[in-house]
A and B are shown apart, each in its own frame.
Chain A
Amino acid sequence: MWSFSNIANSIHEWLSNNFNPTWTIIIEMVIAGVAVISLFAILGLVLVIMERKVSAWMQIRLGPNRVGPKGMLQSFADTLKLLVKEGLTPGGADKFLFNLAPFIAMIVAMLLMAPIAFAKDFQLWDLNIGVLFVSAVSSIMVISILMAGWASNNKYSLMGAMRSGAQIVSYELSAGLSILAVVVMTGSLQVSEIIESQRNGWWIFKGHLPMLIAFVTFIIAVTAETNRAPFDLAEAESELTAGFHTEYSGMKFALFFLAEYVNVFIVCAIGATLFLGGWMPFHIGNWEGFNHVMDYIPSSIWFFGKTFFLIFLIMWFRWTFPRLRIDQLLNLEWKYLLPISMINLLVVTAMAILGWHF
Chain B
Amino acid sequence: MTGSDIIFYLLATLCVVFALLSVTTRQIFRAAIYLLFTLIGIAGIYFWLQYEFIAAVQIVVYVGGIVVLIIFSIFLTQQTGEQLPKQKLDRKIFAALAVFAGFALTMVQIYQHTFFETDEMAITPTVENIGKKMLAVDSGGYALPFEVISILLLAALIGCIVIALRTKTESK
Chains A and B touch (C-beta atoms under 8 A apart)? yes
Binding site for B on A (CB under 8 A): 22, 92, 94, 96-97, 127-129, 132-133, 135-137, 139-140, 142-143, 146-147, 150, 153, 158, 162, 165, 169, 172, 183, 187-189
- In the complex, besides A133-B56, A188-B126, 4 extra interface pairs with C-beta distance below 8 angstroms are A22-B3, A128-B53, A139-B60, A143-B36
Contact A132 B56, beta carbon cutoff 8 Å: yes
> Which of B57, B72, B81, B127 interacts with A187 by CB under 8 Å?
B127
Contact A188 B27, beta carbon cutoff 8 Å: no
Contact B59 A140, beta carbon cutoff 8 Å: yes
Chain A residues whose CB sits within 8 angstroms of the CB of B14 once the complex forms: none
> Which of A97, A136, A162 interacts with B30 by CB under 8 Å?
A97
Contact A140 B64, beta carbon cutoff 8 Å: yes
User: Closest B-chain residue to A100, C-beta based?
Assistant: B33
Chain B residues whose CB sits within 8 angstroms of the CB of A169 once the complex forms: 64, 68
Q: How far is the CA of A140 from the CA of B81 in the complex (A)?
A: 23
Contact B64 A189, beta carbon cutoff 8 Å: no
Chain A residues whose CB sits within 8 angstroms of the CB of B59 once the complex forms: 136-137, 139-140
The 4 closest A-B pairs by CB, nearest first: A139-B64, A136-B59, A136-B56, A136-B60
Contact A142 B64, beta carbon cutoff 8 Å: yes
User: Closest A-chain residue to B74, C-beta based?
Assistant: A150
Contact A132 B53, beta carbon cutoff 8 Å: yes
If A94-B27, A129-B52, A136-B59 touch, whether A162 touches B75 (CB-CB below 8 Å) is yes
Contact B72 A127, beta carbon cutoff 8 Å: no
User: Closest A-chain residue to B54, C-beta based?
Assistant: A129
Q: How far is the CA of A140 from the CA of B71 in the complex (A)?
A: 13
Contact A133 B68, beta carbon cutoff 8 Å: no
Smallest CB–CB gap between A68 and chain B, Å? 42
If A97-B33, A158-B75, A188-B126 touch, whether A128 touches B52 (CB-CB below 8 Å) is yes
Interface string of B46-78 (1 = CB under 8 A from A): 000000110011011001110110011001000
Chain B residues whose CB sits within 8 angstroms of the CB of A96 once the complex forms: 30
Chain B residues whose CB sits within 8 angstroms of the CB of A172 once the complex forms: 64
Contact B71 A129, beta carbon cutoff 8 Å: no
Q: How far is the CA of A143 from the CA of B37 in the complex (A)?
A: 11
Interface positions of B from 65 to 111, Cβ below 8 Å from A: 65, 67-68, 71-72, 75, 80-81
Chain B residues whose CB sits within 8 angstroms of the CB of A129 once the complex forms: 52-53, 56, 127
Smallest CB–CB gap between B50 and chain A, Å? 9
Chain A residues whose CB sits within 8 angstroms of the CB of B80 once the complex forms: 150
Interface positions of B from 95 to 141, Cβ below 8 Å from A: 124-128
Contact A143 B128, beta carbon cutoff 8 Å: no
If A140-B64, A142-B64 touch, whether A165 touches B71 (CB-CB below 8 Å) is yes
Chain B residues whose CB sits within 8 angstroms of the CB of A147 once the complex forms: 33
Q: How many residues of B contact A (CB 8 A)?
A: 28
Chain B residues whose CB sits within 8 angstroms of the CB of A135 once the complex forms: 60
Smallest CB–CB gap between A240 and chain B, Å? 15
> Which of B36, B64, B75 interacts with A136 by CB under 8 Å?
B64
User: Closest B-chain residue to A133, C-beta based?
Assistant: B56
Contact B68 A146, beta carbon cutoff 8 Å: yes
Smallest CB–CB gap between B61 and chain A, Å? 9
If A139-B60, A142-B68 touch, whether A128 touches B124 (CB-CB below 8 Å) is yes
Could you list 13 examples of A-B contacts with CB < 8 Å? A22-B3, A128-B53, A132-B57, A135-B60, A136-B60, A137-B59, A139-B60, A139-B65, A143-B67, A146-B75, A150-B29, A150-B71, A183-B127
> Which of A127, A140, A187 interacts with B63 by CB under 8 Å?
A140
Interface string of B14-30 (1 = CB under 8 A from A): 00000000000001011
Smallest CB–CB gap between B51 and chain A, Å? 10
Contact A128 B125, beta carbon cutoff 8 Å: yes
Most A Cβ at <10 Å: residue of B3, B68, B72, B124: B68
> Which of A94, A128, A165 interacts with B72 by CB under 8 Å?
A165
Contact A94 B63, beta carbon cutoff 8 Å: no
User: Closest A-chain residue to B2, C-beta based?
Assistant: A22
Contact B68 A143, beta carbon cutoff 8 Å: yes
Contact A188 B127, beta carbon cutoff 8 Å: yes
Chain B residues whose CB sits within 8 angstroms of the CB of A162 once the complex forms: 72, 75
Chain A residues whose CB sits within 8 angstroms of the CB of B53 once the complex forms: 128-129, 132
Contact B52 A165, beta carbon cutoff 8 Å: no
Contact A143 B63, beta carbon cutoff 8 Å: yes
Chain B residues whose CB sits within 8 angstroms of the CB of A183 once the complex forms: 127
Chain B residues whose CB sits within 8 angstroms of the CB of A146 once the complex forms: 68, 71, 75
Contact A189 B127, beta carbon cutoff 8 Å: yes
Chain A residues whose CB sits within 8 angstroms of the CB of B71 once the complex forms: 143, 146, 150, 165
> Which of B33, B68, B75, B126 interacts with A128 by CB under 8 Å?
B126
Chain B residues whose CB sits within 8 angstroms of the CB of A153 once the complex forms: 81
Q: How far is the CA of A140 from the CA of B40 in the complex (A)?
A: 10
Smallest CB–CB gap between A352 and chain B, Å? 13
